[in-house]
Amino acid sequence: MVKSVNSFEQLRDICDFKNLHISDYVVKREAELAEISIEDMRLQVKKSLDAMKDAIKSGLNSKEMSISGMCGDDCYRLQKRFAVRGALFGKLFEKITTYALATIEENLRMGKIVACPTAGSCAIVPSVLVAVSEELNIAEEEQINALITAGEIGRIISNKVALAGAVAGCQAECGVASAMSAGALCQLLGGSNEQIFNAVALAMKNLLGLTCDPVCGLVEIPCVKRNPFLAIHAVTAAELALSDVKSKIPLDEVIDALEQTGKLMSPTLKESSQAGLAKTKTAIELEKVFLKNM
């Protein structure tokens, strides 16, 4: 019988006991649960990885606007600027931010994306995973391992907190995506299980309280630009963890805080568009125009 793992402490204990890396344990467990081979399970993950890469490619080559007309050409703008003058942080920064915008803008166009963990946060994990892998020439096998780890991070968090802005704010969407990305990147760069847990904790605890206040009730403002910002946030968390900077608060307790913060957050700041950015003077005017054109 497959043992149920519902916390990061349980995951740490079982991986330590079996002397396995997180991805190795998870892929064996999921293959057993699905009653398929490990090779077939990895092929399932590869399909998601390929879909992420396809979304990036499509997004990089389009500046089609969303139906609202408010978003859709930011990736084009960024690429145009970087072609003239490179980013201060170099080529990898350019790739991560453009890949993030490319992916989230594909979501606006109803293109094919991988919700990881949600559609509104779909660009954070792919942008970091794909950009770093390209720049460092990391093998596909290792990319798949990192994506497996990211998935396990999201699964465990979802056992305690619903990954939806309407339930716990954007901390449970883009926040969790950034934490998943930090853990995946940490693994991609050779981090230990303990360093992965610290990367997740560092990313997550610095995003507690992130509200979901979409303008016009659409997954556009501030969602689109939030994806590249939190992709870079994930890189910061991974770099710290790989340097053995530790979270003083254990990861499971950080998730407890995420759950509590979500419960305390006003319903007006949880995807209802009743407060925050959604009710600024400019947002109200945008909403009037949007409703008039519907």
Residue 118 domain-assigned (yes or no)? yes
Q: What pLDDT does residue 293 have?
A: 85
Residue 2 domain-assigned (yes or no)? no
Provide CB contacts within 8 A for 149, sequence distance 6+. 22, 23, 26, 183, 184, 187, 196
Give the count of domains, the chain.
Answer: 1
One digit per residue, the tens of pLDDT, for the chain of length 294 reads 566 899 999 999 999 999 999 999 999 999 999 999 999 999 999 999 999 999 999 999 999 999 999 999 999 999 999 999 999 999 999 999 999 999 999 999 999 999 999 999 999 999 999 999 999 999 999 999 999 999 999 999 999 999 999 999 999 999 999 999 999 999 999 999 999 999 999 999 999 999 999 999 999 999 999 999 999 999 999 999 999 999 999 999 999 999 999 999 999 999 999 999 999 999 999 999 998 887
Q: Identity (one letter) of the amino acid at 111?
A: G
Q: In terms of residue numbers, what domain contains 242?
A: 8-293
Residue 240 domain-assigned (yes or no)? yes
* CA distance linking residue 63 with residue 285, whole number of Å: 24
Q: What pLDDT does residue 81 have?
A: 97
pTM: 0.97
Q: What pLDDT does residue 4 have?
A: 81
Paired tokens of 90: 């170099």
Residue 230 domain-assigned (yes or no)? yes
Residue 196 domain-assigned (yes or no)? yes
Residue 119 domain-assigned (yes or no)? yes
Paired tokens of 59: 């997004």
Residue 3 domain-assigned (yes or no)? no
Residue 58 domain-assigned (yes or no)? yes
Q: What pLDDT does residue 1 have?
A: 52
Q: What is the CATH number of the domain that holds 206?
A: 1.10.4100
Are 216 and 286 a contacting pair, CB within 8 Å? yes
